[in-house]
Amino acid sequence: DAGVIQSPRHEVTEMGQEVTLRCKPISGHNSLFWYRQTMMRGLELLIYFNNNVPIDDSGMPEDRFSAKMPNASFSTLKIQPSEPRDSAVYFCASSLLTSEYGYTFGSGTRLTVV
């Protein structure tokens, strides 16, 4: 398996623009997580899907953020409109059943909003 695949690896956008981050989880994993990492706040969980259904989005900063998982092999995280404070590395992770088996993380998308 190629692991969790995220795209793009880097994204630079202007404030106010829409940004879409993409994730392909490991085949067979039924849980998917979006995290954001910054120096100040570390790794923060944004949203968690189980069997393609959003279970907990309490970590989503505000209404500008939305996430979808239309099928078991694809998820998106959208920011509209983007702001400079959204600059961070966004990670997608997937796991089987519960986190007891450990999460597999993608390589992340480094987002810079100027």
Partner 1 sequence: SQKIEQNSEALNIQEGKTATLTCNYTNYSPAYLQWYRQDPGRGPVFLLLIRENEKEKRKERLKVTFDTTLKQSLFHITASQPADSATYLCALADSWGKLQFGAGTQVVVTP
By CB under 8 A, name the binding residues for partner 1. 4, 31, 33, 42-43, 45, 48, 55-56, 91, 93, 98-108
Min CB(81)–partner 1 separation in Å: 27
Nearer to partner 1, 16 or 61 (CB): 61
Encode the chain in three state secondary structure. CCCCEEECCEEEECCCCCEEEEEECCCCCCEEEEEEEECCCEEEEEEEEECCEEEECCCCCCCCEEEEEEECCEEEEEECCCCHHHCEEEEEEEECCCHHHCCEECCCEEEEEC
Min CB(107)–partner 1 separation in Å: 6
Min CB(49)–partner 1 separation in Å: 11
Nearer to partner 1, 15 or 43 (CB): 43
Nearer to partner 1, 71 or 98 (CB): 98
β-pair partners for 17: none
Min CB(111)–partner 1 separation in Å: 14
